[in-house]
């Protein structure tokens, strides 16, 4: 039920952003908002699939580079084990800043660093840790539609182990 409510809220935000982005003049900043699907790749505590949302902002520095800030929420589905001290859920909330390089006008690669607030199944209290990531994506031209498709990897260390997950996100671009 919680995931369903999250999806409905994300849809409403994207729809509202689309309506308002068509009536506003363009700014120097670009914003994006949309749903994301994650796959645990490096010890994400028996949870392998996550569902959530992604939001980002960027400012063009030059024709080939831009600075970005991205935040997301990913809820990883629980497994069949009942943890007595922890909760039977896992989530991550990373906030990452980075730089994007555009080899072509619509294709980009990004390096990021920041922090992540997370809870893994065996934990009873959520934790903060430094995080880093990479991403690559494609912005569809404005003539077609202002959509962004992105593949990314976010990683952090906890309990002397590197943990990480890959994310596939589709977002609406708002200028």
Average of pLDDT values for 145-159? Answer: 90
Task: With a cut of 60, say whether residue 80 has pLDDT above it.
Answer: no
Which residues are CB-neighbours of 167 under 8 A, at least 6 positions away? 36, 37, 38, 39, 50, 54, 72, 74, 150, 151, 152, 153, 154
Class (C level, CATH) for 2-174:
mainly beta
Q: pLDDT value at position 159?
A: 85
Q: CA-based angle 129:116:127, to the nearest 5? A: 55
Sequence ranges of the domains in the chain: 2-174
Q: Tokens for 99, please give them.
A: 């730089």
Specify the DSSP class assigned to residue 25.
Answer: P
Which residues are CB-neighbours of 40 under 8 A, at least 6 positions away? 47, 48, 49, 50, 76, 164, 165
pLDDT tens string 95-126: 999 999 999 988 999 999 999 999 887 777 88
pLDDT tens string 2-42: 544 454 454 444 444 444 444 344 567 889 999 999 988 87
């Amino acid at each position: 039920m919680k995931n369903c409510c999250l999806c409905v809220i994300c849809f409403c935000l994207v729809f509202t952003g689309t309506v308002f982005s068509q009536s506003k003049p363009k700014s120097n900043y670009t914003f994006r908002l949309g749903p994301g699907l994650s796959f645990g790749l490096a010890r994400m505590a028996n949870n392998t699939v996550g569902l959530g949302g992604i939001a980002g902002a960027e400012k063009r520095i030059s024709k080939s580079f831009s600075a970005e800030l991205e935040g997301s929420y990913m809820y990883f589905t629980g497994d069949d084990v009942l943890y007595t001290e922890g909760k039977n859920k896992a989530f991550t909330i990373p906030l990452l800043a980075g730089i994007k390089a555009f080899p072509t006008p619509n294709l980009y690669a990004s390096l990021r660093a920041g922090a992540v607030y997370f809870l893994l199944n065996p934990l009873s209290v959520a934790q903060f840790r430094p995080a880093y990531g990479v991403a690559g994506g494609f912005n569809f031209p404005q003539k077609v539609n202002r959509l962004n498709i992105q593949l990314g990897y976010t990683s952090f260390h906890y309990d002397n182990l590197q943990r990480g997950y890959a994310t596939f996100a589709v977002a609406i671009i708002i200028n």
